[in-house]
Amino acid sequence: MRNEKKNCFLNDAIKYFILFSCCFVASSFPVHSDQLNWLQITQAPFIVSYTEMDTENAIRVLRILQSAYPELAINFNDSTNLPIRVFLCPSQSIFDEVTGHQIPEWGEGAANTLQRKIILKSPNWVVYSMDLKCLVIHELTHIILGHAANDHSIPRWLNEGVAIHYSQDASFSSGSLISKALITNSIIPLSDIDYVLKFQRSKAQLAYQESYFAVKYLIELYGEDVLKLLVQAIGTGQDPESVFLHTIGKSSTAFEREWRLYLKKGHKWDFLQDLNIFLWIGIGLLFIISIIGAYRRKRQTLKRWDEEENGAGYQ
């Protein structure tokens, strides 16, 4: 009887071991996007694909798209109403697969303008450096710009700068990275920003901030309509040098030279803003420490007085 129980126990253990091994092996193989149970919500022109765990995120993404699209469509004459597909990817491997492994690890979203497709990492497994609203509008802007330019290549700094401008991403507005780059003589030439997807995270952040400030300078000089005029001129097939010369009266090289002078005059010391923040944090910490110290000293004094008072009765 004892041997039978022992055999039954061994058999059960073997079954559980085999079951566990199968589960482990199955989880070791990557899940492909075409194997996922994609769900969809649709509101023209958007089709948002997501997995069940991203239901709330998908609804929020759709609302952001619907809110931001009308202004962008008007500003860049996008009246086609062609579908725009959006994918909320539940893992890094799915994100890499859907983007064709072309986005670096620091990338949080991507836009394929030819396919009118936006790919986002799910907020369920990644903490965005920008909020979800900024990210969604940023990628949507790329789609709209691609159509406005008839899928001709837009200089990356212009493309990214316009996307940051319309997404109103405050993380690039301080100028602190540009300020440090000016001091260390490491400003990235605007033409080199075409290769931003090959940059390390810190250099990419500088490239995005430069892009934003270049577009900001364009708007200060010529007004916001210049963005549409430049993109539409690119859409005719002209090279960027001709586009800038005919649209703003100077070459992109001359514009960049002026822009660098603008940065040196107005933003060289912006990094001190970060120091001010740390200074106030330090002052706050010192204030808290001083209060705690005063409280402790008061307690020690009261304790000493109690001891002296109690001890006085024995004299």
253 and 164 part of one domain: yes
Report pLDDT digits (tens) over 246-304. 999 999 999 999 999 999 997 655 545 554 444 445 555 665 776 776 667 777 776 66
Across 53-57, 203-207, 246-250, 292-296, least confident range: 292-296
Tell me the range of 107-111, 125-129, 293-297 where mean pLDDT is highest: 107-111
Average pLDDT across the chain, whole number: 84
- Residue 114 placed within a domain: yes
pLDDT for residue 100 = 96
170 and 270 part of one domain: yes
- Residue 258 placed within a domain: yes
- Residue 299 placed within a domain: no
- Residue 129 placed within a domain: yes
Q: What is the rounded CA–CA span in Å between residue 134 and residue 26?
A: 37
pLDDT for residue 194 = 97
- Count structural domains, the chain: 2
60 and 156 part of one domain: no
84 and 172 part of one domain: no
Domain of 139, in residue numbers: 30-148
pLDDT for residue 18 = 36
159 and 269 part of one domain: yes
189 and 264 part of one domain: yes
- Residue 189 placed within a domain: yes
- Residue 305 placed within a domain: no
Report residue 250 as tokens. Answer: 């100077």
CB-CB contact of 167 with 211 (8 Å): no
110 and 200 part of one domain: no
pLDDT for residue 217 = 97
193 and 212 part of one domain: yes
pLDDT for residue 22 = 38
Q: Is the pLDDT of residue 70 over 80?
A: yes
CB-CB contact of 119 with 84 (8 Å): no
Nearest by Cα to 33 from 165, 111, 122, 132: 122
- Residue 53 placed within a domain: yes
pLDDT for residue 278 = 42
Nearest by Cα to 209 from 173, 183, 261: 173
133 and 220 part of one domain: no
Question: What pTM does this model have?
Answer: 0.77
pLDDT for residue 287 = 56
Average pLDDT over residues 151-174: 95
Average pLDDT over residues 90-96: 96
